């Protein structure tokens, strides 16, 4: 019997409870032990809950209980999740989390404490919800150097962009629907401005390269400026627009960014709709792989959390090797110097003449669009006027 505690009984926490209570037999078969929830920590009252005796508001009940071997942190936010996780690891308890903000910010320190204490800090659910992606990078693809990792890492923005493309929906209505379905972060800015995807690509790049990538060093643009005409011009190119977290990992350096990108319909990622996420990995021996599934939502996210609980229970006396180290010097490539192609939208039709080799997309409601050849951001900005806008094309394979 292994006793566990859930910190936070919100969307994900209640999903974790539901899975542990529902799949009891299967979880025992896979982990080798019964898994019993001994506490649920939440500041709210749950007097109508059938197991209301499990609830506590005092974290010390959990921390000081030696029977609790695994702490499941699904509270979200940095504080007090950081302090609680650190205290649990320092006390020799395994910690499992879905908290990407915490992993992206304090992951190095928490992994180091876990290593010192011989316990596990596992965070599969922090990236791409229910899609297994961190374990494949760390284990199944261990034979490869991962040269690229990129994908649709935010369900809310993908839901919004899908509605804009398929239904001509308005941005605000699509966002409200995503929030009502429980996909969006409490503060939707984290989704629509790309901060959530930025943390996820930083975690992916850190794990894939073995060197910590600070999300603050990942240039990030959101989707709030995308217009109906952008959608229509992309469609004319037989393409869609998706918010992409992108990282290239070569020769000990990392080029990373989060931005809306134009993706041709021939790319498998173009079909990834609604709240679904997809992550593409390019390994130097395996070539390209794409992982696809539900990137947000109660049960898919809880599914990844509970899989980590099973792994922690299986390795209750042992540490799974899961680490990254701090970089020695700057490993980040200057993003302004990386050439790529852009879809430019402008009211100034003559602008295209200053872009040698550009191909014209067309004209719509007084606006004009074209695709540039590969050029750096610095070169692009030197040519654009105040009212011109651009969206990057997904870099070619």
Number of Cβ atoms within 10 Å of the Cβ of 284: 11
d(CA 239, CA 51): 51
Q: Binding residue for ligand HSE (CB under 6 A) from 156, 303, 340, 346?
A: 156
Answer yes or no whether residue 150 interacts with ligand HSE by CB under 6 A: no
Nearest partner of 145 among 247, 245, 246, 250, judged by Cα? 250
- Is 260 or 295 the residue whose CB approaches ligand HSE more closely? 295
Backbone angles phi, psi at 277, to 5 degrees: -115, 165
Answer yes or no whether residue 393 interacts with ligand HSE by CB under 6 A: no
Q: How far is the CB of 128 from ligand HSE (least distance, A)?
A: 8
Answer yes or no whether residue 15 interacts with ligand HSE by CB under 6 A: no
Answer yes or no whether residue 254 interacts with ligand HSE by CB under 6 A: no
Q: How far is the CB of 278 from ligand HSE (least distance, A)?
A: 12
d(CA 182, CA 8): 16
Q: Binding residue for ligand HSE (CB under 6 A) from 73, 191, 193, 230?
A: 191
d(CA 62, CA 122): 19
Nearest partner of 175 among 160, 186, 185, 190, judged by Cα? 160
d(CA 122, CA 72): 10
Per-residue HEC secondary structure of 59-114 comes to HHHHHCCCCEEEEEECCCCCCCHHHHHHHHHHCCCEEEECCHHHHHHHHHHHHHHH
Q: Binding residue for ligand HSE (CB under 6 A) from 73, 101, 124, 196?
A: 196
Answer yes or no whether residue 12 interacts with ligand HSE by CB under 6 A: no
- Is 41 or 305 the residue whose CB approaches ligand HSE more closely? 305
Residues 6+ away with beta carbon under 8 Å from 13: 6, 7, 40, 42, 72, 74, 75
Q: Binding residue for ligand HSE (CB under 6 A) from 42, 73, 101, 185?
A: 185
Answer yes or no whether residue 129 interacts with ligand HSE by CB under 6 A: yes
Q: Binding residue for ligand HSE (CB under 6 A) from 155, 260, 283, 300?
A: 155
Answer yes or no: 298 catalytic: no
Site for ligand HSE in 277-306 (CB under 6 A): 295-296
Residues 6+ away with beta carbon under 8 Å from 280: 148, 149, 150, 151, 269, 288, 289, 290, 291
Answer yes or no whether residue 154 interacts with ligand HSE by CB under 6 A: yes
β-strands 239-250, 253-264: how paired?
antiparallel
Q: How far is the CB of 12 from ligand HSE (least distance, A)?
A: 9
Q: How far is the CB of 66 from ligand HSE (least distance, A)?
A: 33
Q: Which of 93, 200, 242, 298 is catalytic?
A: 200
Q: Binding residue for ligand HSE (CB under 6 A) from 160, 184, 307, 391?
A: 184
Q: How far is the CB of 366 from ligand HSE (least distance, A)?
A: 34
Give contact residues for ligand HSE (rule: CB under 6 A): 129, 154-156, 183-185, 191, 196, 295-296
- The catalytic residues are 200
């Amino acid at each position: 019997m292994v006793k566990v505690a859930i910190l936070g009984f919100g969307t994900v926490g209640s999903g974790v409870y539901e899975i542990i209570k529902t799949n009891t037999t299967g979880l025992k078969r896979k982990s080798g032990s019964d898994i019993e929830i001994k506490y649920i920590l939440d500041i709210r009252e749950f007097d109508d809950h059938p197991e209301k005796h499990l609830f506590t508001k005092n974290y010390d009940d959990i921390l000081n209980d030696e029977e609790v071997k695994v702490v499941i942190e699904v509270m979200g936010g940095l504080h007090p999740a950081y302090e609680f996780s650190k205290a649990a690891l320092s006390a020799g308890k395994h910690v499992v989390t879905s908290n990407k903000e915490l992993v992206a910010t304090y992951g190095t320190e928490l992994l180091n404490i876990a290593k010192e204490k011989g316990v596990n800090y596992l965070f599969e659910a922090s990236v791409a919800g229910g899609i297994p992606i961190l374990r494949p990078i760390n284990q199944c693809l261990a034979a490869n150097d991962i040269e690229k990792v990129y994908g649709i890492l935010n369900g809310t923005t993908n839901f919004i962009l899908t509605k804009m493309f398929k239904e001509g929906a308005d941005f605000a209505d699509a966002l409200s629907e995503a929030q009502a379905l429980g996909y969006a972060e409490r503060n939707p800015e984290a989704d629509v401005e790309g901060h959530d995807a930025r943390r996820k690509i930083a975690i992916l790049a850190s794990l894939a390269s073995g060197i910590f990538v600070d999300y603050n060093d990942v240039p990030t643009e959101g989707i709030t400026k995308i217009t109906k005409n952008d959608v229509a011009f992309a469609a004319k190119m037989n393409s869609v627009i998706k918010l992409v977290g992108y990282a290239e990992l070569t020769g000990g350096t990392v080029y990373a960014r989060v931005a809306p990108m134009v993706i041709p319909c021939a790319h498998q990622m173009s079909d990834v709709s609604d709240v679904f996420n997809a992550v593409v990995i390019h390994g130097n021996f395996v070539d390209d792989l794409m992982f696809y599934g539900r990137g947000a939502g109660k049960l898919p996210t809880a599914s990844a959390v509970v899989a980590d609980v099973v792994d922690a229970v299986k390795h209750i006396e042992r540490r799974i090797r899961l680490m990254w180290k701090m970089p020695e010097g700057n490993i980040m490539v200057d993003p302004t110097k990386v050439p790529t192609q852009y879809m430019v939208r402008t009211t100034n039709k003559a602008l295209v003449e200053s872009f040698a080799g550009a191909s014209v997309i067309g004209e719509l409601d007084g606006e004009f669009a074209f695709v540039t050849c590969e050029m750096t951001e610095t070169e692009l900005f030197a040519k654009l006027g105040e009212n011109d806008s651009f969206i990057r094309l997904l870099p070619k394979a």
